[in-house]
C-alpha cells in the first residue's frame, strides 16, 4: 500500500488533538467545535483518504489501511501519541489508533463496526442514498448552504438540528459524498464488513457517545463499552449521528474530561 499525505488544518496550542470525520464527510464537519478546542489543544483536523482534499490510498481501504494512513501522517508531523475526537468511521479509526497505542485519550461519537447484519444493511443504504443525492445536487450545494432551509436539506439525517450548522459545515457533502474517491470500496471494506478485533488492547481513557436522535448508528455505540476497559458511554441529548453543531458544548466537555483522565494539565 502506498501511503499518501493527508490534507489537514492545524490551529491552537497545547497537547495535540486529532479530529477524524465520518464516512462521506470532510474535516469541515468539526467547524463548530474549533474555537473552544483550539483554546486548549493544538488541533489537527484531517481529511481521511479519498475525502475532501486527501488522495485515496492504494489497495483495499479497510479500517486497518485507513488507520495506517493516519499513523503515517502522525509520524510525518512528528506526533507520537495524541488525543483523538472522531465521528462515525473517524470514531472507529480513533479506537483503532488506541488499539495501536497512538492515542492518549479518545472520544468516539457513533463509531461504526459493531452493527448487526440488519443494521449494516440499513447504514449502507443510507450512505448510498447520501452519495446519490450529493452527486446530483453538488452544483447547488454552495447556494443551498447559505440559508437555514438549505442547510436543513443538506444535513438532514446527519444533524438533528441541521439549520443550526454553519454554511461551511453544510458544504461538507460537496467534497465528501459528492466527490469522494473510492466510495464503494471504502463503504464495503471499512463499513459493511468491518469488525473490531483488538479492543482489549486499549489502555487509554475512552468515551463513546451517541446522539439521542441518531438514525444512522442504530445501537452500535453502547456495545463498545464491555470490550474496552473503563470505557464510558454518554448520550448526547437531541444530537444526530454527526452532532458537532447539535451538542458542541457537551462534546468539548467530553474531550476535556477524557484528556484530564489521561493526565493532561492544560485543559480547563
| pLDDT (average), residues 88-100 | 98
Domain spans in the chain, listed from the N-terminal domain onward: 8-261
CA–CA distance, 209 with 256 (Å, rounded to integer): 14
pLDDT value of residue 177: 97
Spatial contact of 61 and 35, defined as CB atoms under 8 Å apart: no
The yes/no answer on whether domain 8-261 falls in CATH 3.40.50.1820 is yes
Q: What is the pLDDT of residues 10-36, one digit of tens each?
A: 999 999 999 999 999 999 999 999 999
Residue 26's contacts (CB-CB under 8 Å, 6 or more residues apart) are 47, 51, 52, 53, 172, 175, 176
Q: What is the pLDDT of residues 64-91, one digit of tens each?
A: 999 999 999 999 999 999 999 999 999 9
The answer to whether the pTM exceeds 0.75 is: yes
pLDDT value of residue 263: 87
pLDDT value of residue 5: 85
Does residue 231 register a pLDDT over 70?
Answer: yes
CA–CA distance, 268 with 253 (Å, rounded to integer): 9
Question: How does residue 1 score in pLDDT terms, banded at 50, 70 and 90?
Answer: very low
Max intra-chain CA distance, the chain: 47
User: Is residue 78 exposed (0-12), middle (13-18) or buried (19+ Cβ within 10 Å)?
Assistant: exposed
Strand partners, 235: 210
Does residue 3 register a pLDDT over 70?
Answer: no
CA–CA distance, 122 with 166 (Å, rounded to integer): 28
Question: How does residue 2 score in pLDDT terms, banded at 50, 70 and 90?
Answer: very low
Amino acid at each position: 500500500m502506498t501511503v499518501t499525505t493527508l490534507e489537514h488544518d492545524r490551529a491552537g496550542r497545547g497537547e495535540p488533538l486529532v479530529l477524524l470525520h465520518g464516512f462521506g464527510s470532510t474535516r469541515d464537519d468539526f467547524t463548530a467545535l474549533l474555537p473552544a478546542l483550539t483554546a486548549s489543544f493544538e488541533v489537527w483536523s484531517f481529511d481521511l483518504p479519498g475525502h475532501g482534499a486527501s488522495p485515496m490510498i492504494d489497495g483495499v481501504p479497510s479500517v486497518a489501511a485507513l488507520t495506517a494512513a493516519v499513523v503515517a501522517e502522525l509520524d510525518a508531523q512528528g506526533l507520537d501519541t495524541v488525543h483523538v475526537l472522531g465521528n462515525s468511521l473517524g470514531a472507529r479509526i480513533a479506537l483503532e489508533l488506541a488499539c495501536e497505542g497512538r492515542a492518549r485519550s479518545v472520544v468516539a461519537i457513533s463509531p461504526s463496526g459493531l452493527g448487526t447484519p440488519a443494521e449494516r444493511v440499513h447504514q449502507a443504504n443510507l450512505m448510498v442514498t447520501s452519495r446519490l443525492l450529493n452527486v446530483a445536487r453538488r452544483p447547488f450545494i454552495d447556494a443551498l448552504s447559505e440559508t437555514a432551509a438549505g442547510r436543513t436539506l443538506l444535513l438532514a439525517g446527519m444533524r438533528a438540528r441541521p439549520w443550526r450548522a454553519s454554511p461551511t459545515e453544510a458544504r461538507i457533502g460537496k467534497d465528501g459524498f459528492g466527490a469522494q474517491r473510492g466510495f464503494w470500496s471504502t463503504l464495503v471494506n471499512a463499513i459493511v464488513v468491518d469488525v473490531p478485533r483488538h479492543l482489549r488492547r486499549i489502555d487509554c481513557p475512552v468515551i463513546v457517545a451517541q446522539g439521542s436522535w441518531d438514525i444512522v448508528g442504530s445501537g452500535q455505540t453502547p456495545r463498545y463499552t464491555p470490550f474496552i476497559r473503563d470505557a464510558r458511554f454518554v448520550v448526547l441529548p437531541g444530537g444526530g449521528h454527526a452532532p458537532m453543531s447539535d451538542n458542541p458544548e457537551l462534546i468539548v466537555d467530553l474531550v476535556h474530561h477524557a484528556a484530564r483522565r489521561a493526565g493532561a494539565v492544560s485543559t480547563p
